[in-house]
Structure 1
């Protein structure tokens, strides 16, 4: 039973407060609770109980009213999240109503915001790739952005720590710039993918095609079962077969008896005590009553997701910090990044007509970055990797034919040709002008200002995308595919749901918000370990790095408390 600690001031005082319950917030709560701290975890979302509340997890399309489609009313209430493609009738209750909490766009930004405990850990893509010093040293070497205050060696043991607990399936490949980790047995490529892999690696020495490293279990861990290959992950997994707050970190934190969880709690701001030079607590708006409540703690972990965390910091003003908590030099809100994708190629094959595959594997395959790695110089900085998929086309291929008769029906009972797609996933550089600010001219349903987002991809990203679709087409053609078609669809920041930056780590308080331990430079008992802390974006999925940074910061925070340094 989760304790809800809602009494007077003494009862509202904890050792630590964690703002947010998503991927990084769940890790903060687990690590701090297991180290003996009394922790309050706050989330603006409603309670979502593991298994019981995954309402549509096992339902077929015909078992829901609109077969997964959205209604006019849902479209009206969710104009922003619908643009991302992650919202459907199967998980519609997991998302915030955009009409309750709008945001202002100077340029289009597709922001997907959950409204549940567990946050986007319930709906994430589960890609779990380590970064390397190619990524941590990039800013220093090419001069775009500031130097990271850490290197791979600082994070490597923490990657191992979180991988072992979360359960990451994958194949060790010995690639220096995509370090191997603590892996469960990999999922298996199908026969078509294995053939393509051999041809690509033979034709393009130095390129590697591997099964994607994903937080889906191939072996059980404790009460969590292995993946059932249903590929319905975005609805919540009743088997606990992928890592989420509900299946993994929250049960671990609850088990300690040290966690108090308060859902439906909108964190308005952090309380700063100028006489102490420290943060002393947070102000929370009850989502339903709109009552303001204060909670107090010795340390505060801000894990509300990149932009919400930045909102909380910006809205935490005082005489000492009129521009937002810790924001002495106007850095807060700048350097917003997201990955860019939807550029690549697809094709078909008549091979393996007598072969099929089992289930709906939730992991594709991956071709790690090979541009600007081994001394080749492209007309852009940094690089991209490829995610890929393959399948045999099904009966839906006949919809456009409008056929009739027995022969047509027989045709549709046989699977169509193999098809494969490669989609690039590219790094975005940190640009000062890509930023968020508070817009006080617009208020949300709780009377708070909203965020104004001004962000765009620039020339470096546009040049990279040309290589994304040309290289994909070249590899598929070399692998013997037919009907190869490059694509480069219009894409906007936010669509990859990897927003990061805006409260970046660095060595110098004049150019960064956080130090090497994720502490706010000038408010040392406040830690930010979600996407807001990122100093560059790399081209790998970032969530595993958030987990490792959080576990590392929590370990440091508890040791600092014991030394009475905080």
Structure 2
């Protein structure tokens, strides 16, 4: 008995944060800064800033397979290999799919990395605010439930997140595209400047094109170095030039002296006390020893990323919560959303043959949403934005039979054609039938039931894709591009790696899992601030919103704790 009491005391903290990615790292930072003793649990291995970015400074020829995957890597990563992110350049950052299977009722591409920092080490870093247009559309068109907050509630937290993370971007003063606290913007290249001017002149700024708002530093910021224009971000950045847990939130949390980081800690459930109606802690499996352990805290932030968070909460069953923690509404696992993309248009730019690009800018252009706003009414709801940019191909292609001699060398050392690409990112409507459930018939490497994902895009998304292609082609034509081609390379849910929903915020406990503070309606000391909290997803990249919601929730949680309310 004494031993158990001692173990409990040793394993007790003020707060537990589950997950160490973008939102988990932020929760750990803000809770520790406010004086709480925090345990941050990470399912995978530790990755130390700089030291463990083992491929960051390698030359192309230092990779045995020049970035390509081996047959064994393809075998052990059948999902991760489906698209471009998983390569030899950063293969250690991606999960072994055979160890961590899941059931695809319908195709769902689940890209994952189990390590300290999570996807903050591999994310695309595009950072945009949602606007009141996005926070109010569910209520207006009846898809999903009304957001419990509006832009004014989160605006100061966007300010805070941008100032700390370091977001470079251009102030545009464009409706429904809120400006923020920006570092100096990266520069558009010569072709992009031409395209921007022609589009904005033609549409009289009813459409605009701007440089991407990106979490890459253009100047030194907060002790971190500025972007070196290498465009090797996915290997980890030794300069700390983009926002990640390792470069930003983790050092800040460690500096407080209040953080305990525990990698190799697979959280299997949140523990609940029926009498107090509160969570008491979490149960984990040590993935190195397979030992089961319990940790205890007054507050728990679940930030495993949307699908992992849902798996934990669905697995957290008890007499009081037979269908998963906080799931009296039946909405836990419902309304899974992701952006649809991989369609648009491209064209060739002529007249810029004497111009070239500088460096390898780790960023592109952005055209914010303009559809279904004001008097514009389409045969679908919501809208899309465009990302892309102009680049110049490295060289002309030779003719095989003539590949020798001085003329050939001159040819292949001359830069090729300029191309301009516009790719759409479209909003997906919330739908209860797009869902996640536990599949107890299948187990992972550690004996835990896996999740089954049943999710598909609907008619609204497919109707939108036609405009995403046609509008891109129209704008490229207006901009003077030649040989314009539209493309639709197909898009399955999950592929955009913007999965959201499944534990949505709302005012009514009967139709939502969380309240306006990201706090569980039924379990007041549990907070969820990753993508699972989103009642809708807009068409913007979501990570900045996760940061802002996390900071807001952490501030509220500590305030409520001090008042004795949780």
Q: Does 1:41 align with 2:43?
A: no
Deviations for 1:29-48, whole angstroms, at most 9, x for unmatched residues?
00000000000000101000
How big is the shift at 1:84? 3.2
Deviations for 1:91-124, whole angstroms, at most 9, x for unmatched residues?
1111111000100001000001102100000000
CA contact (8 A) 2:402 2:408 kept: no
Partner of 1:3: none
Partner of 1:21: 20
CA contact (8 A) 1:91 1:235 kept: yes
Partner of 2:261: 261
Partner of 2:507: 507
The 3-state SS of whatever aligns with 1:522 is coil
Counterparts in 2 of 1:349 and 1:286: CA distance versus 1, 3 Å: same
Partner of 1:150: 149
How big is the shift at 1:223? 2.4
Partner of 1:102: 101
Partner of 1:63: 62
Partner of 1:334: 334
Partner of 2:130: 131
Partner of 1:141: 140
Partner of 1:356: 356
Counterparts in 2 of 1:65 and 1:207: CA distance versus 1, 3 Å: same
CA contact (8 A) 1:351 1:418 kept: no
Deviations for 1:360-406, whole angstroms, at most 9, x for unmatched residues?
00010111101011221000000000001111111374487873332
Partner of 1:181: 180
Partner of 1:276: 276
Q: Take 1:148 and 1:252, find their aligned partners in 2: how far apart are those partners?
A: 31
Partner of 1:298: 298
Q: Take 1:322 and 1:398, find their aligned partners in 2: how far apart are those partners?
A: 66
Q: Take 1:356 and 1:288, find their aligned partners in 2: how far apart are those partners?
A: 51
The 3-state SS of whatever aligns with 1:175 is coil
CA contact (8 A) 1:84 1:110 kept: no
CA contact (8 A) 1:441 1:449 kept: yes
How big is the shift at 1:254? 0.1
Q: Does 1:403 align with 2:413?
A: no
Unaligned runs of 5+ in 2: 1-5
**Equivalent residues, number:** 560
Structure 1 consecutive aligned stretches of length 4 or more whose deviation exceeds 2 Å: 395-406
Partner of 1:4: none
Counterparts in 2 of 1:269 and 1:399: CA distance versus 1, 3 Å: farther
Q: Take 2:455 and 2:461, find their aligned partners in 1: how far apart are those partners?
A: 13
* TM value normalised by structure 1: 0.98
Q: Take 1:424 and 1:549, find their aligned partners in 2: how far apart are those partners?
A: 26
Root mean square deviation, CA, Å: 1.1
Instruction: Compare 527-536 and 324-333 and name the one that shifted more.
Output: 324-333
* TM value normalised by structure 2: 0.98
Q: Take 2:491 and 2:270, find their aligned partners in 1: how far apart are those partners?
A: 35
Unaligned runs of 5+ in 1: 1-6
CA contact (8 A) 1:84 1:112 kept: no
Partner of 2:211: 211
Q: Take 1:175 and 1:532, find their aligned partners in 2: how far apart are those partners?
A: 29
